[in-house]
């Protein structure tokens, strides 16, 4: 099975967490796009959706779904999103699609975070995938120098402006053996909006599509 088939499998499995009348947070990326397709086919009557990006908002609206402003919903019961890496402690790297800050906000506002991915994202530890860091454009070079001091090699993601009007630095070479510490250290650099380590707000459920079927792990 190819990666897309495995992503679709994980996305469809996430439907088991969706109940009629809920408000559902929806992430960003190709796996989440399969989830949006599956929602359309499943016809579960939810109250509305909170999107973690403008791209997701547009996709949801194209399906005729009701998209809500997070400022008016309070906490939400469930958030479904993909990841670039997941470790055995449910910690993630996210932000390959550049939506990491809003994704972390929606994940944090959710009572249950279900992470969906193909099994290639299941890793013994985080750190192979370049870590996305969202920075305000004014501080880009300063933040890059601080990331070098932390042992990283930052590269500006060319031509990318986030939904929040910011830039993304993709950082390789960081020691992520203590992901929570690195998440907080990077976020303490002035000019950083957020970074793609999800260690403070981890996933609650991991759903991996694999050749042997769905792998489901719960905290
Ligand atoms: O964090 C993300 C977007 O910011 C995505 O969830 C992550 O990049 C995984 O993407 P895909 O489902 O396309 O593999």
The residue to mutate among 81, 97, 128, 207, having the most atoms of ligand 1 within 8 angstroms of its beta carbon, is 97
Q: Where are the domains of the chain?
A: 3-124+200-218, 131-195
* Start-to-end Cα distance in the chain: 28
- Give the CA radius of gyration of the chain: 17
> Do the two domains 3-124+200-218 and 131-195 of this chain adopt the same fold?
no
Mean pLDDT of 45-72: 97
The residue to mutate among 7, 9, 10, 82, having the most atoms of ligand 1 within 8 angstroms of its beta carbon, is 82
Question: Domain spanning 131-195: which superfamily?
Answer: ACT domain (3.30.70.260)
Strands (DSSP E) found in the chain:
23-26, 48-51, 76-81, 85-86, 92-93, 110-118, 131-135, 153-156, 167-172, 192-195, 197-198, 205-210, 213-218
For the chain, give the number of residues. Answer: 219
Is the distance from CB of 71 to CB of 91 less than 8 angstroms?
no
Instruction: Find out if CATH 3.40.50.1360 is the number for domain 3-124+200-218.
Output: yes
Please confirm, yes or no, whether 85 is among the known catalytic residues: no
Residues 99-145 pLDDT 10s: 999 999 999 999 999 999 999 999 999 999 999 999 999 999 999 99
Q: What are the CA-CA distances from residue 30 to residues 3, 141, 179, 213 (Å)?
A: 10, 31, 25, 19
Provide the pLDDT confidence category of residue 43 given band limits of 50, 70 and 90.
confident
Is the distance from CB of 198 to CB of 4 less than 8 angstroms?
no
Which atom of ligand 1 is least distant from the CA of 98?
4
Question: Ligand 1: which residue has its CA nearest to atom 7?
Answer: 83
Predicted confidence at residue 1, as pLDDT, reads 85
Report pTM.
0.97
**Residue 179, helix vs strand vs coil:** helix
**Residue 168, helix vs strand vs coil:** strand
Active-site residue identified among 12, 103, 134, 183:
103
Which atom of ligand 1 is least distant from the CA of 96?
8
- Return d(Cα 61, Cα 181) in angstroms, integer: 38
């Amino acid at each position: 099975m190819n990666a897309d088939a495995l992503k679709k499998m994980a996305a469809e499995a996430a439907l088991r967490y969706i109940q009629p009348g809920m408000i559902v947070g929806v992430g960003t990326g190709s796996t989440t796009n399969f989830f949006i397709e599956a929602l359309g086919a499943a016809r579960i009557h939810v109250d509305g959706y909170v999107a973690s990006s403008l791209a997701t908002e547009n996709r949801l609206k194209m399906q005729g779904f009701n998209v809500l402003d997070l400022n008016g919903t309070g906490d939400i019961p469930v958030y479904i999103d993909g990841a670039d890496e997941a470790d055995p402690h449910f910690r993630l790297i996210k932000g390959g699609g550049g939506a990491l800050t809003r994704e972390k906000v929606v994940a944090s506002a959710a009572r249950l975070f279900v992470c969906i991915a193909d099994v290639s994202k299941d890793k013994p530890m985080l750190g192979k995938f370049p870590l996305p860091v969202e920075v305000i454009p004014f501080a880009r070079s300063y933040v890059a120098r601080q990331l070098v001091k932390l042992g990283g090699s930052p590269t500006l993601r060319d031509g990318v402006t986030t939904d929040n009007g910011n830039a993304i630095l993709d950082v390789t070479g960081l020691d992520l053996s203590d992901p929570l510490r690195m998440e907080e250290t990077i976020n303490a650099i002035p000019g950083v909006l957020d970074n793609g380590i999800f260690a403070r707000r981890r996933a609650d459920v991991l759903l991996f599509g694999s050749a042997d079927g769905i792998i489901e792990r719960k905290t």
